[in-house]
Chains A and B, each alone.
Chain A
């Protein structure tokens, strides 16, 4: 299947700092990318949908000024958690759709720990 990567795989930061997570589609052009958040023992919660070259669409309750999403190219989307706090500690997962297959492909996830 198609490959989606995320970087970094884990990150620890101090409260108040900003953290950027990258999501890349390695072997196809991703017209749409999605960002999810997952707390321990819970399901994935969709945060936002991003289309290349346009503003992201955020789900209800997700602060767009806190979770900045940029989808500047067909192979890269970034999620920046601004002024991170301990409650932002979570597993962040992206998915991408595009190419010749009618599916979404998920990245391996990024574990964020805010001290």
Chain B
């Protein structure tokens, strides 16, 4: 079973920041927070991951609360191409561990 809770869907205006929340209240000390997204009819794409510190890369920023029970993925300037289903996943850092996907958040970027 997925260990995360995400809103089913969200809308965001093009050019604005998209903030996608995720609750993971049962996260273990050795588990990281990962974000993937899936554009329609494509395979999932890795976005970012973090343990407890905030992380930023060319795609997004990840803000993890101090108690690690929730996080927010931020797409700073959303474009129409960011329309996708976004999955928040908690798992150990071991790349060989299986990924269990929840239902994710369907993000619609509005023109």
Write the residues of chain A forming the contact surface with B, with a CB cutoff of 8 angstroms. Answer: 1, 4, 6, 31-32, 34, 36, 43-46, 49, 91, 93, 95, 97-98, 101-109, 111
Which residues on B are within 8 Å of A, measured CB to CB? 36, 38, 41-46, 49, 87, 93-96, 98-104
Structural contact, A44 and B42, CB atoms closer than 8 A: no
Residue of B nearest to A42 (CB): B103
Q: A4, A31, A105: which has the most chain B beta carbons within 10 Å?
A: A105
Inter-chain contacts of B36 with A (CB < 8 A): 106
Interface of chain A, main secondary structure: strand
CA distance A68 to B96 in the complex (A): 20
B95→A103 contact, CB < 8 A: yes
Residues of A within 8 A of B46 (CB): 1, 103-106
Q: Is the CB of A102 within 8 A of B41?
A: no
A6–B49 CA distance with the chains assembled, in angstroms: 25
- List chain B residues, Cβ under 8 A from A36: 101
B44 adjacent to A93 (CB under 8 Å): yes
Pick from A6, A98, A101, A106: contact of B44, CB under 8 Å: A106
Nearest-neighbor residue (CB-CB) of A102 within chain B: B95
